[in-house]
Structure 1
Amino acid sequence: MSFTKLNFGTAGIPISTEDRNTENGIKKIKELGLGSMELEFVRSVNISKEKAPIINKIREENDVILTCHGQYFINLNAVENEKIVASKQRILNAARIANLCGAFSMTFHAAYYLNMEKPAVYKTVKENLKEIIETLKQENNKIWIRPETTGKETQFGNMQEILQLSQELDQIMPCIDFSHLHARYNGKFNTYEEFSQILEQVEKALGKKGLHNMHIHTAGIEYTAKGERNHLNLKDSDLNYKALCKAWKDFGIKGAVTCESPNIEEDALLLKKTYENS
């Protein structure tokens, strides 16, 4: 899938959707003037194989882009082998259904360091992701698999790790959560220059294709010295979303921005309006 613009949308079905289900959520996205919606498989893959093609048809009819967030219960660096096996299966199950729904991208929190050396953790995560991609290729599933930048230093997923995986493995691209990066480093990454630095890193590692095929998460965020605490509405947080939108505009990025604020569609519309006026 190639993009002509940056699309804004919600993490899950918009709150204002009546008769809340995925199909009506997609229609509501269109009605609101937004362009994307994220399928939230964070607890379980809650769409059946039979229902997925129906969702894809509604997505196409409403010209809405879909992304997917996989389950929280994933750790590709678990000590117990059965947990790694289960984690890989959860990623595959989400990727399969998301692909049938017409989603172009599936993201997840990849691993925890568990007090291990970072290079060793990287190697383990890479090996497990490689196996996942090999399985998807055998199934002719071309959905982008995107480890996400994470909000705590105890979690695998800094910019360097995510970009390196994207360079070294097929079908892997980053999901950049700007709020997580802001929280992970206790308030850093909150100026136009710092946001530009992140996008420059993407372009240096992945070229223009990295900027033109983006899956982004953004929300207001509360954090401590240990990192992310919880999501907030943008206007209740210190995230400099105006500077962030200007950086997106100036770098000409394309793809999908998923808003994860509690008031998902209100802040998605705020981001869209701010971006368009930047």
Structure 2
Amino acid sequence: MFQPSKLLFATPGIPLSTQPRDTENGIRQVKKLGLGAMELEFVQSVFISKEKAPEIKKAVDETGVALTCHAPYFINLNAVEPQKRGASRSRILQSAKILDACGGYSVCFHPGYYLGMEPKKVFESVKSEMEKIMGEVKSLGLNVWIRPETTGKPTQFGSIDELCDLSAGLDHVLPVVDFSHLHARTNGKFNTREEFTQVMELIEKKLGKVALHNMHIHLSGIEYGPKGEKNHLVLDESDMNWRELLQVLHDFNAKGVLVCESPNIEEDTLMLQREYGKL
């Protein structure tokens, strides 16, 4: 299965400078900007049809741009109602099918909410649903990684420990490490070189060095409070210690995709790539 040979920097959706504004042109604009990857934002819906996917794959093949996607927000693998859990699985699988058809390789999603339940019970519920999803992924022959993301609010399932443990028990599952979410869900922690290093060491300990060479990372500025994430910010308008994070990623020889989710899209993504290149 595909994985990048170095750390690629990705825009969250098509660059703002894309004209005309569609996915194919977005991929080609990413290439023109000198970036290596793009994340398809399926956050409201999987907007690409299976009929359209081959055209997008052609753009991917011609440019060499790596493609990931963010599945819809409306996912809760710990929902009480079976139909809601089923709908959540379907949204992840539909994202995976279309991404695979587009020539992409890594599906990101927010796994769910605690709903006031014991975290250990929630873990088992999410794991059970993930086993069903991965069974479908295998039977469909999809060549994609399925990746639950570290979440930005303490009411959401998705600490780095939980997701490393979840990934350890499932094939072709690894976490999306959203460092901004880790910072927000803990109301200001996970923002020093030491803390970033601890995250990388935890991943290596629980999932092996191979996981550090196949990362899917999210980063942006972020506004937060006692209840966690409020909204994304431009990096230099936030307290996110992104320069130290880049140094830690470099020190660990991280490989994969780093999606910069700042509101200014390519501007911060290009800044991160430029600064990382100086290390």
- TM-score, length of structure 1 as denominator length: 0.99
- Please report how far the alpha carbon of residue 188 of structure 1 lies from its aligned counterpart in structure 2 after TM superposition: 0.6
- Letter paired with 2:220: A
- Please report how far the alpha carbon of residue 226 of structure 1 lies from its aligned counterpart in structure 2 after TM superposition: 1.0
Aligned-partner Cα distance in 1 for 2:75–2:243:
33
- Please report how far the alpha carbon of residue 214 of structure 1 lies from its aligned counterpart in structure 2 after TM superposition: 0.5
Question: Residue 176 of structure 1: SS of its match in structure 2?
Answer: strand
Partner of 2:247: 246
Deviation per CA, 1:7-28, whole angstroms, max 9, x where unpaired? 0011101111111000000000
Partner of 1:145: 146
Partner of 1:102: 103
Partner of 1:273: 274
- Letter paired with 2:153: K
Partner of 1:56: 57
Partner of 2:43: 42
Partner of 1:196: 197
Aligned-partner Cα distance in 2 for 1:154–1:46:
29
- Letter paired with 2:177: I
Aligned-partner Cα distance in 1 for 2:277–2:243:
11
Question: Residue 157 of structure 2: SS of its match in structure 1?
Answer: coil
Partner of 2:257: 256
Partner of 1:125: 126
Summarize the alignment of residues 78-93 of structure 1 with structure 2, pairs less than 5 Å apart: 78-93=79-94
Partner of 2:206: 205
- Name segments (4+ residues, structure 1) moved above 3 Å: none
- Please report how far the alpha carbon of residue 47 of structure 1 lies from its aligned counterpart in structure 2 after TM superposition: 0.5
Equivalent pair of 2:4/2:257 in contact (CA under 8 Å)? no
- Please report how far the alpha carbon of residue 199 of structure 1 lies from its aligned counterpart in structure 2 after TM superposition: 0.7
- Please report how far the alpha carbon of residue 2 of structure 1 lies from its aligned counterpart in structure 2 after TM superposition: 3.1
Aligned-partner Cα distance in 1 for 2:10–2:95:
20
Deviation per CA, 1:58-110, whole angstroms, max 9, x where unpaired? 11111100000000000011111111111111111111001111111001000
Contiguous gaps of at least 5 residues in structure 2: none
Aligned-partner Cα distance in 2 for 1:2–1:91:
20
Partner of 2:158: 157
Contiguous gaps of at least 5 residues in structure 1: none
- TM-score, length of structure 2 as denominator length: 0.98
Question: Residue 228 of structure 1: SS of its match in structure 2?
Answer: strand
Q: CA RMSD in A?
A: 0.7
Equivalent pair of 1:8/1:268 in contact (CA under 8 Å)? yes
What is the aligned residue count?
278
- Letter paired with 1:24: N
